[in-house]
Structure 1
Amino acid sequence: MFVLTVDQRKSRQRQDLVEAAMGALNGDALRPLVLPFDRTAGDEMQAVIAEPAVVVSIAMELAASSSWSVGIGIGPVKEPLPENTRAGAGEAFERARTAVTAAKAASGNIAVSGESPLAEQAEALLQLLVLVARKRSKMAEEAGILSDQGLTQQQIARQLGISQQAVSSRLQSGLWQESRRVLSVAESLLEGADR
């Protein structure tokens, strides 16, 4: 099982982002949560997730925004699960706490904690992917999101009002296809670390 513990960065200098983030993440039917995001303390929220692809998707989105430190804890949780996340307990919760603390100083503000050495390997890939995502231009990201939705480069070009060559250039400069392949490796590593 995976526990995500997420802490808002520079929360004393910014408005509280936790409520809006929880609303968006808990309402996303495409990314199912075992236990929804719940505010655990001040500017921190936590959720329990079963699927590695969902963990990676949410963790990348939050860390790439530069607004959050993201800790991924891997391990068992005490069952039966409580009604709300903040009442949860078990190794995955403890590891998520360790990971979010490490994430505050980590490259890309993301860290993973698990018993398996695969957790450390997944962390290295996720840190690299966050740094790539943060350097990506808005135009490259826009083209990449449409590509992820299954649109062809020709369809993306029509939608954005640019040439197909410009779409290709944006995807290449943003390392979009390469990042997607590495994301799938990170998901596999997390899945292996959870076994």
Structure 2
Amino acid sequence: MIKLTWQYIPLRNDISFLQIKQSEVNEIPFYLYFFYVHVYSAIFVLLAGFTQFSNYILEKKKSIHKNIGKFYVFIVLFLSAPSGLYIGVFANGGFYSKVSFVTLSILWFYFTFKGFTSIKNKNLKDHKAFMLRSFALTFSAVTLRLWKVVFVYLFQPSPMDLYQIIAWIGWIPNLLIIEYYLYNQSKK
């Protein structure tokens, strides 16, 4: 993910993914701004999110967990999810892809917000559940790209068909896995 993000430095509007988004870059106000906010903020959210599941940090360095958690929440709520929502409206793959990316952004915002408000209300169980859901959606940045490689390798679908497929499987399996995990934890 860092390598993918790095390719957008220095800021240009004609590289990598943006090569196929030239009509949006040239015709949609603020598209490029929101795209770069999303790309650059998402890498920090991924890195911050991974630290939150360290038992060592959770048990021995609670202030680190708390501060990195605040950073994660701030970035998701004020940068990554809103910019994802904006660019999701213009997603490749037509209506179904757009619905997926917009839904993903709304759920990402909601789960992160609920995770934050839960810990403020000292509800540790809900905090953990909502933050796991939030990070499952954060991690869709990775799984979407993995599924893309798998589908291109196995099926060679047309680019727009591929977008319609990975738009959904990039995040729904992640969320289902977390829900299954939370369900099993509730049985213990």
Of structures 1 and 2, the one scoring higher in RCO (CA 8 A, sep 6+) is 1
TM over 0.5: no
Q: Which has the higher helix share?
A: 2
Q: Which has the higher strand share?
A: 1
